[in-house]
Amino acid sequence: MHAPAIDAAAPGGRRVAVVGGGPAGLFAAERLRRAGCEVHLFEAKGSVGRKFLIAGKGGLNLTHSDPPGLFASRYRERSAEVGRWLEAFDAEALRAWARELGVPTFVGSSGRVFPDDLKAAPLLRGWVRRLRAEGVQMHVHHRWTGWAADGALCFDGPDGAVSLDADASVLALGGGSWPQLGSDGAWQDVLAGAGVALAPLQPANCGFDVGWSAHFAARHAGAPLKPVVAHWREADGSAHALQGECVVSSHGIEGSLVYAISAVLRDAIARDGHALLELDLAPGREHARLLRELSRPRGKRSLSEHLRRAAGLDGARAGLLREVLGPDAMQDPAAVASAAKRLPLRLLAPRPMVEAISSAGGVRFDAVDAGLMLRARPGTFVAGEMLDWEAPTGGYLLTACFASGAVAAAGVLDWLSRRGAGGDDDRPPMRHAWAFPRKDEADA
């Protein structure tokens, strides 16, 4: 027996389902609607864009002002593929899009781009209002569960199971971080079952466990370290350094500097069982000067006072030195000076994906064509974080989500036009919904 079909007659037009109401899905829906499709957007939660809203909590970092080549390089192994998406829709296009919605943006001192008011909520509100006004039909509280035997999309809705027979669909179901916001990665089983090649989801832009002593964690968890310089080696052995800010957590270390290099650290742990991260706790002081100042007799001053006065090392910085060096080496100015410039931290594990800002892994690029259509499921396209790419924070995540939404929408239109033109391609016959009578016709 069929689940009841959603009443969605589409006289003359093409009906497209977009599943997932994050930025990737909303943007694909906008493009498809403006191209004249009848668009149904399905969202499992009671409202769309929950992760987008959370992203606005600390100031919505929409995109970045990097020049195009550098921008694309942020996607590391996927810079070629994501670079092609950015040719369709780049940072400038995203800023123009926001402006058109009445949300001007500015470039911060770090090069990051934010809405003038730093907030996500007004942008999302205006966007959803406009999408509805333009005719995108929103179905919240509808969780996609897979496909019926005839290819229809199946949903668990508020009144039970429903299905939709669409001409094409875009899945934009997000990655696996912060699952309470809706993107829980449950789609992996459905797509794997449909023969879609997946790379396992993994935490990205995440913190790491160090295994602090209980004493250190109790005293210093939550303490910011700014500025510090991180030193690390890439898999090819090349040495790199980056200045920024991080935070001591009860388990280890987190914050924007760590997130920026989390892919390398995570992969090193997977390969070697641990990763080495070295921190310069005194970026403003040369090693020789530090050694000279630490070697001065401290008289009656306590060691803590000496570290603070002679080298500006206090609070969590001094605590880190003690934690890593131990009490004996702390008496040796040479050991302290060296550790202050290159404090070795042995990272044991990435923090769980549920805590991460984003996830790596997902639908592999060899599972989709250039228009982001699933090779195993013609007529079904994918967009956003559920694809196998990752990027540091800095606005690169949202930009790629929008850009992939644009590419998937263009892919849908191209595919529909080729099918509509009488099948001028030589793909094998498909078993997709629109090759079958629509539910309402079939039931009539």
Ligand X SMILES: Cc1cc2nc3c(=O)[nH]c(=O)nc-3n(C[C@H](O)[C@H](O)[C@H](O)COP(=O)(O)OP(=O)(O)OC[C@H]3O[C@@H](n4cnc5c(N)ncnc54)[C@H](O)[C@@H]3O)c2cc1C
Interface residues toward ligand X, by CB under 6 A: 19-25, 42-45, 50-52, 54-55, 60-61, 143-144, 172-174, 177-178, 182-183, 186-187, 357-358, 384-385, 393, 395, 397-398, 401
Burial of 251-286, coded b for 16+ CB within 10 Å and e otherwise, reads bbbbbbbbbbbbbbbbbbbeeeeebebbbbbbeebe
Using a 10 angstrom Cβ sphere, with 0-12 exposed, 13-18 middle and 19 or more buried, the burial of residue 95 is buried
Nearer to ligand X, 61 or 249 (CB): 61
Instruction: Please report how close the Cβ of residue 129 comes to ligand X at its closest, in angstroms.
Output: 18
Instruction: Please report how close the Cβ of residue 22 comes to ligand X at its closest, in angstroms.
Output: 2
Question: Which two tokens mark 308?
Answer: 């603070």
Question: Which two tokens mark 111?
Answer: 């090069």
Instruction: Please report how close the Cβ of residue 21 comes to ligand X at its closest, in angstroms.
Output: 5
> Kind of pairing, strands 343-347 and 275-280?
antiparallel
Instruction: Please report how close the Cβ of residue 50 comes to ligand X at its closest, in angstroms.
Output: 6
- Return the residue matching tokens 């080495």: 276
Instruction: Please report how close the Cβ of residue 46 comes to ligand X at its closest, in angstroms.
Output: 10
Distance CA 317, CA 340 (A): 8
Question: Which two tokens mark 94?
Answer: 């995203």
Instruction: Please report how close the Cβ of residue 229 comes to ligand X at its closest, in angstroms.
Output: 23
Helix (H, G, I), strand (E, B) or coil at 36: coil
Nearer to ligand X, 115 or 333 (CB): 115
- Return the residue matching tokens 């290819």: 151
Q: Are 183 and 173 in contact (CB under 8 A)?
A: yes
Nearer to ligand X, 151 or 175 (CB): 175
Nearer to ligand X, 3 or 279 (CB): 3
Residues 6+ apart with CB under 8 A from 311: 282, 285, 290, 293, 294, 336, 337, 340
Instruction: Please report how close the Cβ of residue 159 comes to ligand X at its closest, in angstroms.
Output: 16
Helix/strand/coil (H, E, C) string of 302-324?
A: CHHHHHHHHHCCCHHHHHHHHHH
Q: Are 142 and 42 in contact (CB under 8 A)?
A: yes
Nearer to ligand X, 172 or 263 (CB): 172
Instruction: Please report how close the Cβ of residue 249 comes to ligand X at its closest, in angstroms.
Output: 15
What are φ and ψ of residue 56, in 5° steps? -85, -5
Nearer to ligand X, 42 or 216 (CB): 42
Residues 6+ apart with CB under 8 A from 422: none
Gyration radius of the chain over CA positions: 26
Nearer to ligand X, 138 or 277 (CB): 138
Nearer to ligand X, 119 or 342 (CB): 119
Nearer to ligand X, 68 or 326 (CB): 68
Residue of 256, 249, 258, 251 whose CA lies nearest to 220: 249
Instruction: Please report how close the Cβ of residue 9 comes to ligand X at its closest, in angstroms.
Output: 23
Say which DSSP state 346 is in: E
Nearer to ligand X, 332 or 355 (CB): 355
Instruction: Please report how close the Cβ of residue 138 comes to ligand X at its closest, in angstroms.
Output: 12
- Return the residue matching tokens 């769980």: 352
Distance CA 216, CA 239 (A): 29
